[in-house]
Amino acid sequence: MDPWVAQAAPRMALVAERELEALIGVSSPSGDVAGAEKAVALCKAFLPPEAEVERLGCSSPGHAPDLLGRLRGVGTARLVLLGHLDTVIAHGDHRPLERDDDRLTGSGAVDMKGGVALALGVLRELAARPALYAEAVVLLVNDEEWRTAPFAHTERFSGFDACLCFEAGERTEAGDEAVVVKRKAAATLRVEAHGRSAHSGSAPRRGRSALLALARAAQLIAARGDPDGPDGLTAVPTVMRSGDAFNVVPAGGELICDLRADRLAAVEPVLGVVPDELDEVRLETTMMRSWPGMDTRAATAELLAVTARRLGRPLAAAERGGASDASHVAATVPLTVDGLGPRGGGAHTPDEWVSAASLRTRAEVALAVVAALLDG
């Protein structure tokens, strides 16, 4: 293993566990300004003293500004470390960190406050090695979990040499460490139904059920999924809301569907499968948000080969269906590597967790990538 990686990783892991506890101690659901500001304040304190601090306007209106920490060096390379501070867990369901042997459980642990802790650790290690870079930046955003607006920061990093994103890490079935270099495009489709209410007992035929129309629309959308097809398209209805009373034909409602494919263009035709009207219920179909895919396999192949030598063990290139801000940045920074955070599970659930042991092994992976990138 590279001597710098071997020396720095244990130190990073020790501090990361402490910082993870502090970050999880703050409830920061997407869109909550007060929670975001508390999380940002912690991260500012965790930045190396040499870092310049800047607040950037968030991509989503009404959110707290994003956090950027910048180191300036005397080298030539420019590197951005990417993460997010928002979670999907509401305040009432928030769980502070609990440890059970190797399992660190808490809201946002794996998605992605564990990754944020490692990203901050990498920046601190880089602060002591300014000869390796001209600019090393960490960007932590506050709206990744539910952003419908375009990502505001893509062009800011045009011309950077690499982007490292610290979403959750993983292993292969053989047990080798892996990083993510391919992600599916993602889109969220919404169907609004406008029917007519009526008493469900005395006059059901006078009503036009939004619920039944949405149920049919959900089946039409799901039928378009073709996960084994050329684009790997998945079309999954995930949320349906309709009705306010047990004895009234529901006049309105909405359906939310999650769409994924290798190409963003492959999800767009799904919009057309829902008619404007079903059984005299008017339907309005819109694409609430769309994220590009990412495929940096070719651009990162040599980097990962050098990283494996620095790491002293195999490192695999993995694919993942979930969306990430790395996909946005990869549009202008071809050398983008994701999945550098700790391993864990249960993302977006009350039992979200990370492996304490993986804080060290994934610190080794992240530092080895940085060494391969900046030091040959």
Instruction: Enumerate the domain spans of the chain.
Output: 3-184+293-374, 185-290
Mean pLDDT on 14-30: 97
CATH 3.40.630.10 correct for 3-184+293-374: yes
Query: DSSP of 64-89, one letter per residue?
Result: PPEEEEEEE-SSS-EEEEEEE--BS-
Question: If pLDDT is split at 50, 70 and 90, which confidence band does 322 have?
Answer: confident
Structure tokens at 353: 């967790």
Alpha carbon of 199 to those of 105, 244, 249, 250, 293: distances in Å? 48, 12, 6, 10, 47
Mean pLDDT on 6-28: 97
Backbone angles phi, psi at 342, to 5 degrees: -70, 160
Q: Would 3-184+293-374 and 185-290 be classified into the same CATH topology?
A: no
b/e code 137-176 from CB counts within 10 Å (16+ = b): bbbbbbbbbebeeebbbbeebeebbbbbbbbbbbeeeeee
pLDDT of residue 344: 97
Q: Computed over its alpha carbons, how large is the radius of gyration of the chain?
A: 23
Question: If pLDDT is split at 50, 70 and 90, which confidence band does 376 have?
Answer: low
Using the predicted structure, report yes or no on whether residue 307 has a pLDDT greater than 90: yes
pLDDT of residue 323: 84
CA 247 to CA 237: how far, in whole Å? Answer: 26
Around 334, how many Cα atoms within 13 Å sit in the side-chain half-sphere? 7
Q: What percent of the chain has pLDDT over 70?
A: 100
Please answer whether residues 85 and 141 qualify as being in contact, where contact means their C-beta atoms are separated by less than 8 angstroms.
yes
Residue with tokens 């910048």: 70
Q: What's the topology of domain 185-290?
A: Alpha-Beta Plaits (3.30.70)
- The per-residue pLDDT for range 274-298, each reduced to its tens digit, is 999 999 999 999 999 889 999 999 9
Closest C-alpha to 293, from 181, 192, 200 = 181
Bridge partners (DSSP) of residue 279 are none
- The per-residue pLDDT for range 188-242, each reduced to its tens digit, is 999 999 999 999 999 999 999 999 999 999 999 999 999 999 999 999 999 999 9
Residue 244's identity, in one-letter code, is D
- Beta strand residue intervals within the chain, DSSP E: 52-56, 66-72, 78-84, 98-100, 103-105, 135-141, 162-165, 170-171, 177-183, 185-194, 234-242, 252-261, 277-278, 281-291, 294-295, 315-320, 336-337, 344-345, 353-355
- Give the chain's mean pLDDT: 96
How many helices (H) does the chain have, and how many strands (E)?
7, 19
Structure tokens at 86: 């928002």
Long-range contacts: 203-208, Cβ < 8 Å, 24+?
Answer: 204/249, 206/249, 207/248, 207/249, 207/251, 208/249, 208/251, 208/279, 208/280, 208/281
Structure tokens at 294: 């990412």
- Residues whose CB is less than 8 angstroms from the CB of residue 196 and which lie 6 or more positions away in sequence, other chains included: 206, 207, 208, 249, 251, 280
How does DSSP classify residue 126? Answer: H
Using the predicted structure, report yes or no on whether residue 61 has a pLDDT greater than 70: yes
> Cis link prior to 112 (omega < 30° from 0)?
yes
Closest C-alpha to 148, from 246, 31, 43, 28 = 31
pLDDT of residue 16: 97
| Full-model pTM | 0.91
Please answer whether residues 365 and 9 qualify as being in contact, where contact means their C-beta atoms are separated by less than 8 angstroms.
no
Around 83, how many Cα atoms within 13 Å sit in the side-chain half-sphere? 35
